[in-house]
Chains A and B, each alone.
Chain A
Amino acid sequence: DTAVSQTPKYLVTQMGNDKSIKCEQNLGHDTMYWYKQDSKKFLKIMFSYNNKELIINETVPNRFSPKSPDKAHLNLHINSLELGDSAVYFCASSQEVGVRNTEAFFGQGTRLTVV
């Protein structure tokens, strides 16, 4: 059973399009995240959700809108895609911060290519 799964794994799209990436976790975690990994492998937080509430929005353009319908899902919708959005996007989940086992588990990543 995959703990954190995100779809699709690859996404190639044209500039200006709107696209979504879905993420689901079956670990019973309260907190979910979106991270962006650029071509130099830098991993940067985009959003954190705790119990479906947005906790962190790390100066991400408004074109990116996360949605958490329930604690097990955190989707990412991107409007008006730009070339600079090309990256690998990782979804992750963890237990509530402060609980002993706070490691984050990551999905396999979605490689987004904007052409």
Chain B
Amino acid sequence: AQKVTQAQTEISVVEKEDVTLDCVYETRDTTYYLFWYKQPPSGELVFLIRRNSFDEQNEISGRYSWNFQKSTSSFNFTITASQVVDSAVYFCALLSSGTYKYIFGTGTRLKVLA
């Protein structure tokens, strides 16, 4: 079975705080892909990052960083020095090789207060 769990339903932080969004996944496949998407209030789904199961390197892009740990089946997302524009719902997703469906977590709503 494939599953993505985002246990944090909603997080509120004050601007400039750091915040980490958790993602735990389940799959029996050895080859799979993990993703983060952002859904701002305007409603579109914006792709942020992809990680392949065979590449455990963490990644940093500006204020965003991602920590992929196969040992704990987690793919966490940290925003450093959060800004109001970061307010959105963030989705973690899993795609197993050989399948044709992205399994999404239930999303974490992030509110960054000025």
Contact = CB atoms under 8 A, between A and B. Distances in A.
Given A31-B100, A43-B104, A97-B100, A103 B45 contact: no
Interface stretch (B20-28, B56-64, B74-82, B89-97): B89-97
A61 to B, nearest CB: 18
Interface residues of B, number: 24
A36 to B, nearest CB: 11
Given A98-B97, A101-B50, A108-B43, A41 B89 contact: yes
A97 to B, nearest CB: 6
Interface string B26-55: 000000010101010001110100101000
A54 B44 CA distance: 25
Contact of A109 (B37, B44, B97): B44
Question: B52, B95, B98, B103 — which one has the most chain A CB atoms within 10 A of its CB?
Answer: B95
